[in-house]
């Protein structure tokens, strides 16, 4: 009996400790504004004329600060590195839940965004950044979709288990070498992160040799499902929306033989949803390697050149 009491006491102390540590990490996570997703979700009661939503092609290739200067409006970059439409939806819904308002949303759609997210992206849903929001309905749905029911409930009800699984992110500060900085380096006003980098010759050679060839276009059902959810969210919050496609380096773009099918699909999809689809692929800058850091991302000088063009389009549409 004494042994059982001892064990029960140990279990109780463990649970209490786990619960305290769970609270500590939840609290810590909320303060990690250096992570783009957290930065977006921590915004409260802000008003923006326009917002850009998408993955890295939005995050690193649009200078939203420059758009604000040109159009004299308030804008925000909601793009997150390597994110899927599912993650974009979760971030947007959390952003709106915190009393933020947007007049118009520009959603970036392309081959990668419309493909099967698990195949197209290495880590389509950055689950470790949403662990303190497991109770939220949108987050719950995304977690169950990504990790399954069993794991979701395990993480939700066993304190600390969710943070233990990602302890490579939840590291103890005092053990971290001082030289290692965790800052993602994006502009904390606009949310954009421009990258000063030229396309490496090795990558250029790969592009020329045609490794990016893709012949068929199929819009993944899950991607479609999340585009519809984003549209529904916009409608329920009185947000106008348009689709657009960022330019990718022409030499690689022409290797996607299904481009015509994709753009036709997006024009048709936009028409069905009463919005526009603006394709920026035809721009002259798409043929110049000096404006790209890799085959699908503009570098800082590319972004500086592209942003006024984007502003011009936005200005004309909203005039």
Partner 1 sequence: MLFNTFNFFVFFVVFFICWMLFPAKFKWVSLLIGSVYFYCVASSILILVPIIICLITYICSLQMDKLKVNDVLFGAIVFIIVGFLLYYKYLNSFIDFVSLSTLSRFSVVAVPIGISYFTFQSIGYLIDIKNNHIAVERNILKLFLYLIFFTKIIAGPVERAGDFLSQINQPSKFSYNNFSVGIKLILLGLFKKIVLGDRLNLLISPAFADLTSNEGMPIIVASFIFPLQLYMDFSGYTDMARGFSKILAINLTENFNSPFSSTTLTEFWRRWHISLSSWFNEYVFKSLTISTRNWNQFGLFISLVITFTIIGVWHGPTMGYLIYGVLIGLIVFLETFSKKSRKKIAKKMNEKAIKMIGHAYFCLIIVFLFLFIKTETLPSYVNVVKSIVKVELVKDTKDTFNHFVHGYQFSTNKLNTYTYVGNLLNNYNTRVILIAFFFLLLLNNSKSNEFSLLNRLKKITIVRHSGYIVLLLLIMQFGLFHNTNEFLYFKF
Task: Please say whether the beta carbons of 122 and 70 come within 8 A.
Answer: no
Options 7-15, 96-104, 220-228, 233-241: segment touching partner 1 (CB under 8 A): 7-15
Say how far apart CA 214 and CA 205 lie, in whole Å. 18
Task: Please say whether the beta carbons of 242 and 234 come within 8 A.
Answer: no
The reply on whether position 157 binds partner 1 by CB under 8 A is no
Beta bridge partners of 241: 105
* DSSP state, residue 103: E
- The smaller minimum CB distance to partner 1, of residues 71 and 134, is found at 134
Q: What is the crossing angle of helices 149-157 and 137-147, to 10°?
A: 130
Kindly tell me which residue out of 27, 171, 189, 264 binds partner 1, with binding defined by CB under 8 A: 171
Options 47-55, 73-81, 153-161, 195-203: segment touching partner 1 (CB under 8 A): 153-161
The reply on whether position 23 binds partner 1 by CB under 8 A is no
- The smaller minimum CB distance to partner 1, of residues 7 and 205, is found at 7
The reply on whether position 153 binds partner 1 by CB under 8 A is no
Burial of 141 (0-12, 13-18, 19+ CB in 10 A): middle
- The smaller minimum CB distance to partner 1, of residues 1 and 196, is found at 1
The reply on whether position 179 binds partner 1 by CB under 8 A is yes
The reply on whether position 238 binds partner 1 by CB under 8 A is no
The reply on whether position 156 binds partner 1 by CB under 8 A is no
Binding mask 108-137 for partner 1 (x = CB under 8 A): ------------------------------
Kindly tell me which residue out of 122, 177, 196, 282 binds partner 1, with binding defined by CB under 8 A: 177
- 271: Cα within 13 Å, side-chain hemisphere: 6
Kindly tell me which residue out of 29, 80, 160, 303 binds partner 1, with binding defined by CB under 8 A: 160
- Strands (E) across 63-123 are located at 75-77, 101-108
Q: What is the crossing angle of helices 221-236 and 85-97, to 10°?
A: 20
Q: Where are the alpha helices (DSSP H) in 105-217?
A: 111-114, 117-120, 137-147, 149-157, 161-165, 201-209
Q: In a 3-state reduction of DSSP, which class is residue 243?
A: strand
The reply on whether position 14 binds partner 1 by CB under 8 A is yes
Kindly tell me which residue out of 73, 120, 164, 233 binds partner 1, with binding defined by CB under 8 A: 164
The CB-of-160 to partner 1 minimum distance in angstroms stands at 6
Applying CB under 8 A, the site for partner 1 has a residue count of: 30
Q: 25: how many CB neighbours lie within 10 A of its CB? A: 21
Task: Please say whether the beta carbons of 107 and 277 come within 8 A.
Answer: no
Residue ranges in contact with partner 1 by CB under 8 A: 3-4, 6-7, 9-10, 13-14, 17-18, 21, 150-151, 154, 160-161, 163-168, 170-172, 175-177, 179-180
């Amino acid at each position: 009996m004494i042994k059982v009491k001892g064990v029960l006491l140990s279990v109780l102390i463990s649970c209490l400790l786990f619960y305290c540590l769970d609270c500590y990490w939840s609290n810590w996570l909320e303060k990690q504004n250096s992570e783009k997703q957290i930065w977006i979700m921590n915004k409260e009661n802000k008003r923006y004329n326009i917002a850009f939503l998408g993955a890295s092609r939005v995050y690193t290739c649009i200078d939203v600060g420059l758009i604000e200067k040109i159009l004299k409006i308030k804008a925000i970059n909601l793009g997150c590195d390597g994110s899927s439409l599912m993650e974009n939806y979760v971030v947007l819904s959390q952003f709106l839940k915190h009393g933020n308002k947007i007049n118009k949303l520009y959603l970036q759609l392309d081959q990668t965004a419309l493909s099967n997210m698990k195949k197209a992206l290495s880590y389509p849903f950055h689950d470790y950044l949403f662990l303190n929001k497991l109770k939220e309905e949108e987050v719950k749905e995304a977690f169950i979709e990504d990790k399954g029911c069993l794991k979701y409930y395990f993480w939700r009800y066993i304190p600390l288990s969710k943070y233990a699984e990602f302890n490579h992110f939840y590291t103890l500060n005092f053990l971290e070498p001082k030289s290692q900085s965790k800052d993602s380096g994006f502009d904390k006003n606009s949310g954009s992160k421009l990258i000063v980098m030229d396309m490496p010759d090795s990558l250029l050679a790969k592009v020329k040799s045609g490794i990016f060839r893709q012949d068929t276009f199929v819009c993944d059902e899950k991607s479609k499902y999340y585009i519809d959810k984003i549209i529904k969210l916009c409608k329920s919050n009185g947000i106008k929306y348009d689709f657009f496609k960022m330019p990718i380096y022409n030499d690689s773009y022409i290797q996607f033989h299904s481009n015509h099918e994709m753009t036709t699909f997006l024009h048709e999809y936009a028409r069905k949803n009463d919005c526009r689809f603006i394709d920026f692929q035809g721009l002259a800058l798409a043929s110049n390697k000096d404006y790209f850091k890799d085959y699908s991302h503009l570098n800082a000088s590319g972004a500086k050149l592209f942003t006024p063009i984007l502003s011009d389009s936005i200005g004309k549409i909203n005039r």
